[in-house]
Amino acid sequence: MPSKIAQIRLADCGAYYIATDINPHAVRVTSETLEAHGVQAELITTDIVSGLEERLAGLVDVMVVNPPYVPTPEEEVGRDGIASAWAGGENGRCVIDKILPVADKLLSDRGWLYMVTLTANNPSEICLQMREKGYASRIVLQRSTEEESLHVIKFWRDIDDRLQANETGTVNKTGPARIFDSLLSQFPGLLFRRNDGSSSS
């Protein structure tokens, strides 16, 4: 999707698509792309989803975000022009960190968030942050080029965890331990070196 955020809300008649971007040129190009593919959507020029929070709270089933994720000086973030397409500030996290709490407000109980991140954004730390809000996560796609290594992370509310917490009054593993397990299962060949020099995988 050319627009930064695409959201799908299931209405009575089927899927309802909303796409937002802060850059009006990106919104125009998105409109042309959607039209070329015969897809109807509501297109909105706004900062993340500013002005839509009340209307969409708890209603978004799928949220797709391709944020500006490139680490840059903070002053490059949100500037007019093409730089806002990539400028992510320190660790490339400036816009990402604003989107995470918004996603939590907008997603329905069964909602999914798909977000593109770069290794420099520290995806496991993003997963931990979302774990604290009650979300499970999984890297569903990874692509590397000579210049960058990208991940698409899927987040969803971890109902099993909540049920288990309700039943036992506690969750068996701590958030960090579960994230670590989850990452391990996604990278079975990964080698972890212990301080004593031995290795485990």
Ligand X SMILES: C[S@@+](CC[C@H](N)C(=O)[O-])C[C@H]1O[C@@H](n2cnc3c(N)ncnc32)[C@H](O)[C@@H]1O
List contacts with ligand X (CB under 6 A).
Answer: 1-4, 20-23, 26, 47-48, 66-68, 84-86, 95
- The DSSP bridge partners found for residue 193 are 199
Which residue number, 65 or 136, has a Cβ lying nearer to ligand X? 65
User: Residue 30: is it exposed, middle or buried by C-beta count within 10 angstroms (0-12/13-18/19+)?
Assistant: buried
* Among the listed residues 83, 68, 6, 61, the one whose alpha carbon sits nearest the alpha carbon of residue 37: 6
User: Which strand (E) or helix (H) includes residue 126?
Assistant: helix 123-132
Least gap, CB of 47 to ligand X (angstroms): 5
| 32 versus 160: smaller Cβ distance to ligand X | 32
CA dihedral 164, 170, 175, 181 (to 10 degrees): -60
**Closest distance between ligand X and the C-beta of residue 1, in Å?**
5
Nearer to ligand X, 2 or 134 (CB): 2
Nearer to ligand X, 88 or 111 (CB): 88
Cα(132)–Cα(144) distance, rounded to whole angstroms?
Answer: 29
Interior angle at CA 183, CA 182 and CA 184, nearest 5:
90
Q: How far is the CB of 108 from ligand X (least distance, A)?
A: 21
Least gap, CB of 68 to ligand X (angstroms): 5
Nearer to ligand X, 20 or 72 (CB): 20
Cα 25 to the center of its chain, rounded Å = 23
3-state secondary structure of 166: helix
Residue the block writes with tokens 């799928």: 62
CB of 115 to ligand X, least distance (A): 11
Q: CB of residue 50 vs ligand X: minimum separation in angstroms? A: 8
Considering the complex, state which of residue 14 and residue 81 has its C-beta at the smaller distance from ligand X: 81
Q: What are phi and psi of 45, to 5 degrees?
A: -90, 110
